Chain A
Amino acid sequence: MTTLRFPLSRIEGHARVEMEVEDGKVVSAQFQAIEMRGFRYFMQGTPAEQMPVIVTRICGVCSTAHHVASVKTLEDIFEVEPPELAKEIRELLLLGQLIQNQATSLFIFTMPDRVGASSIFHMDESEADPEQQLSLAQRALKVRQIGTKLITLAGGQFIHPIKAIIGGVTSGIKKEDAANMLSEVKEMLPIACTLFDEYWEMSLAMKERIGTWGDDQPAFYIASTERTRPKLNSDTIRVLGPDGTERASFPPHLIREYLEYEETEYSYAGQSSYQGQVLRANSLARINLAVSMGTPYADDYLDKLTSTFGKPAHPILLFDLCRGIELVYAFERAIEILSNDLAYEDTSVPYTPKDGEGYGLVEAPRGPLVHHYTVKDGLIEDAEFIIPTVHNMLAIERALLVAGDRYVSPSGINLELEKAVGRVVRAFDPCIACATQ
């Protein structure tokens, strides 16, 4: 028996893959999260009202999702409903995160695989025309920056947002600030679309080269968005079957009843499943759920994906293309929201702190994120973070086995395997800081 160990890069956090090979066949593949800070433990005893600002430190990439999920959890406990304007500003905040995250995953994490470079900052070292590659990198970073700017505008701080509060948000968005942001988003939308077109072409070319879209066996899917218009701030989680039909829909407090959860000895992250079956979260889950995105450009891309690959689609490299559809959707939806009046004063309602138990759900870029707190004497007695990356763990390992089968044979190990491992993991865009906390 031989153990192959692959370090990973261009993903969030510290993880590695171990494969056991016996008689020319991969017999097991483990995706190992190798870091942990221990939020679940050290949050105990924290004044509940301070959670929304502390939990952003779980992850600097997904901080916005944790910020909003935390506020929603406390609103659930304190029984308070934020005003509409606050919900709109929170949606804008989550859209900013979606843009930043999908642009990062598409252009910084996975585009180098498509052009054969080690990073977006080394694109001119790839075989393609250096000028063209540099232009690609510059445009990609600009598109990503729109996400950062939206987070700053709607969240008050650029990495660890502060503006969502129990009962609402701290302030509206001034007309002038909204107008400036609106014109920037409008200006960048066509650039984002062109970039996505180029990325789509690169993906087709990569498929030609490697001969596969990756693991395409059916799976279950989990998302908290809707069939029309991906709603990032909903209160319902849905599970789709491998045939695309809805198998379950439930509020966040029932998530542990619907999903199995297990910890393993080989990873600091757990793994979940649905009725013992492989589950997938993230972009492909949402797109398989979506009948329409509700905005013109994103709907064109959705039609293109569906007519090319069918629905539900299962090959894992389609996660990446789905991220592009969502990137375009987030631009279009941000334009709609920024065109509304966000300046008025009614941004929050008062609340009275209470003890109790509550749940908060948001659709993070990686899937449904649930916070679950128990508050006693105003302090956190228990805090549970149910992380979307954890729903993808079994799916990642299955896809690794598929890649292992493809590149390992009794005659030897094809050197393409290392690259394939990277592509497989990046398709799921796992976040290890979140998965382990």
Chain B
Amino acid sequence: MTSKKQSLPRFAVLQLSGCAGCEVSLLNANEWVEKYQLVYMPLVVSSHTVPEDTEILLVSGGVRNDEDIYNLRRAVKIVDRVIAVGTCAISGGVANLGDRDEVREMFMAQANRHHLPHLLPKSRPIDAFVDVDLYLPGCPPTPELFMAALTGPENFQASSIVCQECGRKKLKDMRPKHLLGFQQGEVLPDICLINQGYLCVGSSTRGGCRAICTRPGHPCVGCRGPSDAYIEKESSVWFDRIQQVFERLTDIPPQEIYDALHSPQLSLFLFQFTDYMGNGGPSRPKEKVL
């Protein structure tokens, strides 16, 4: 058993500043246990560095402090392949909601501790520091997506957008006049959530999650990020596209849609657009996004 196990490909999981939801999802994907050897993942394994001969490195969490930078740079030197896992590693994540002058100043003034890893003014994506071979968006990615990222995306079949995986019917004659609150109201089965007045962005969000939120009735918040059609463009193109979908299916005033799209719950995931990073860096090529 031990000898067989030692010949399996070796992977490591580096957790930067995040919520561990990605790790919990990976633990739910039991299939890798037979196919891979997990050599480093402090959440579940007592080992304190990424060992030599590690092939794959999954990185979750954003770069929030100087120790994150150090750990990230040190780990990527060892491995052959780097996979950025989840919203935080790809965009800096939820902490970007604080990327406002007044919040940043308060945070830096009150939060930092001298003898501990020093906090950075902004939570950064990992590709601001190192090269990434594959991006695996999702908050968190499903166990199925983790397996696809590990075993090779070329064998993974998914629709381009969440809408196609959802299966709810779009109706022409059910046109709401206003948005319902994010959290309000009864949900009719089998009918498109947009027809019911929910702000669902599944029409432009990357598929592959199997529509786990929209099928039971919660609007897609876009955690998988922009689909291939938008990933290499600026976020404004994506906003326009969602507006068009709502104009086609509803009578909701455009300004109402605009405001809702720019609210924190959704912008949380829009940080995955390069223009939100504010450093003018190149966009993520769609070939590298699973």
Contact = CB atoms under 8 A, between A and B. Distances in A.
A163 B216 contact: yes
B95 A156 contact: no
Contacts of A162: 213, 218
Interface size class of A (residues with CB under 8 A): 35 or more
A12 interface: yes
A157 interface: yes
Nearest to B97: A42
A121 B45 contact: yes
Contacts of B45: 9-10, 118-119, 121-122
B235 interface: no
A121 B26 CA distance: 13
A11 B44 CA distance: 8
Interface stretch (A32-40, A242-250, A336-344, A405-413): A32-40
A130 interface: yes
Nearest to A161: B218
A345 B47 CA distance: 50
A42 B95 contact: yes
A57 B33 contact: no
B94 A57 contact: yes
Nearest to B48: A7
A35 B66 CA distance: 10
Interface in B17-34: 17-25, 27-28, 30, 33
Contacts of A59: 19-21
B182 interface: yes
B274 interface: no
Contact of A170 (B48, B64, B117, B218): B218
A49 interface: yes
Given A54-B264, A108-B27, A265-B114, A37 B140 contact: no
Given A10-B44, A54-B268, A171-B187, A157 B213 contact: yes
A118 B47 contact: yes
Interface in A224-282: 265-268
Contact of A42 (B1, B18, B98): B98
Nearest to B42: A9
Contacts of A109: 44
B212 interface: yes
Contacts of A54: 94, 97, 264-265, 268
A292 interface: no
Interface string B40-51: 011111111000
B174 interface: no
B19 A60 contact: yes
19 contacts: A7-B48, A12-B20, A35-B117, A37-B94, A37-B95, A38-B95, A38-B107, A42-B103, A47-B263, A49-B183, A63-B19, A104-B27, A121-B45, A156-B213, A157-B213, A160-B139, A163-B218, A348-B186, A433-B19
